[in-house]
Structure 1
Amino acid sequence: MKKLVFLFALLITTIASAQKNSLLVGGNVGFSSEKIGDSKLSDFELSPLVGYQFSEKWTAGLQGSIMNAKVTGLENNEKYKVGGFVRYSVSLSELFSFYGDFGVGYQKTSLNNAKGIYAGFEPGVYMDIKNGFCLNFSIGGINYDNLNGKNDLRQNHIGFDFGKTLNIGISKNFVL
């Protein structure tokens, strides 16, 4: 089951190729599991997004995320994110294009009712297959987030994870 969820997550990532005056609908599905001794951590994340391509190179839209993390013997932690993103795309050939996504928004966790902001940049490459369907590839990015809870100290995190992650996805572009 874990392998099936992992393969599905690889298939459903990012969004499609840029066409002026079109709507992009896409997102990510992710799952991870880690076991250390008797303790087990698993999380599931769903991250939809919708964007409008107002030129051949620029797309802007809304993104969100719902994550549920479970740790053996501890309370579940749910994390919600909502924000906006901007994408800049450059065509490398008829088949391949390079893109950079920048996103920023608000986040909240159920654990300790922590709230904060996030921002991130993720470059990638997509391959236009046919009729607005694309395969998308990325290998990480740069991200920042902070959380401030009732009983916890303020948490700030800066991540640089190029090469630590691999996302492969399929997506669809709807021409308006």
Structure 2
Amino acid sequence: MKLKSILLLILSYGIITSLFAQDQPITKNYLLGGSISFQIQKNSFPSSSIGIGPGFYSQNNDNLRYLTFSFSPQFGKQISEKWLVGILGNLSLSRYENNNSQGTTLDFDRNSIQYGGGIFGRYTINPENLFNFFIEPNIEYYLFSLTVKQNSVKTEEQKANFIKIRTQLGGLYRISPKFNLSAKIGGLDYVNWHWEIVGTKDSKNFSSFYSSFNLANLFFGFEWKF
């Protein structure tokens, strides 16, 4: 699946670039930017806040602590007034702690990391305005791992790889001809997974389609055009 996914990304980028290059006036504008999102939360662990990894659940407990961080760089080329194409990456980290769970002496930690990248296109609806909206479809491939510890002893490790097809909504505010502030809030996602528990025979291939429009998926960013 890994090789097929990478080849699909390369082929898709070539097709998209060729199609727009034939019909659209090409400019010399390039874009370098990205977005950051983080969340720090105590005493609850809502499943709606999780953007990475399978198998999470919701509960309330005074001893819970949750931290997530995500960084998504982008590099693109403006191929017309309204269209931009490029490549993107993502690194997402999360940590979940439940100390003295349910009144016992058990300390429970769960740490995950997700990394990968893909290609994207961006259609800007009103590029002539200082503040404008855009639609950003993309195809991405990721690797994911999760480690579970109880009283500092590793009890389980999960791994997964997946390909994601996503359409995001966002907005840009042009603060100068070269610099933009950006914001994105979730999207519509289709994900195809391969998941396994390391050291066991437990594995699964599955797919899902869902929307992720919530404040936990609000990303702010900064862009430089050159």
Aligned match of 1:145:
191
The DSSP-based 3-state class of the residue aligned with 1:83 is: strand
Greater relative contact order (Cα 8 A, min sep 6): structure 1 or 2? Answer: 1
Aligned match of 1:113:
159
Any unmatched runs of 5+ in structure 2?
A: 1-25, 45-60, 98-107, 147-157, 197-201
Q: Which amino acid aligns with 1:159?
A: Y
| Alignment pair present for 1:172 and 2:224 | yes
* Pairing partner for 1:45 from 70, 77, 80: 70
| Alignment pair present for 1:154 and 2:205 | yes
Kept after mapping to 2: 8 A contact 1:116/1:146: yes
Rate the CA distance shift 1:127–1:75 in 2: closer, same or farther, 3 A: closer
Q: % of aligned pairs identical?
A: 28
Aligned match of 1:33:
40
Deviation at 1:168, TM superposition (A): 4.0
The DSSP-based 3-state class of the residue aligned with 1:115 is: strand
RMSD: 2.2
Any unmatched runs of 5+ in structure 1?
A: 1-18
Rate the CA distance shift 1:155–1:33 in 2: closer, same or farther, 3 A: farther
The size of the alignment, in residue pairs, is 156
Kept after mapping to 2: 8 A contact 1:21/1:55: no
Bigger shift: 72-81 or 92-101? 92-101
| Alignment pair present for 1:135 and 2:170 | no
Bigger shift: 159-168 or 80-89? 159-168
Aligned match of 1:76:
111
Structural mapping, 1:13-24, within 5 Å: 20-24=27-31
TM-score (norm 2): 0.61
Separation of aligned partners in 1, 2:161 and 2:129? 43
Separation of aligned partners in 2, 1:140 and 1:105? 15
More helix by share: 2
TM-score (norm 1): 0.76
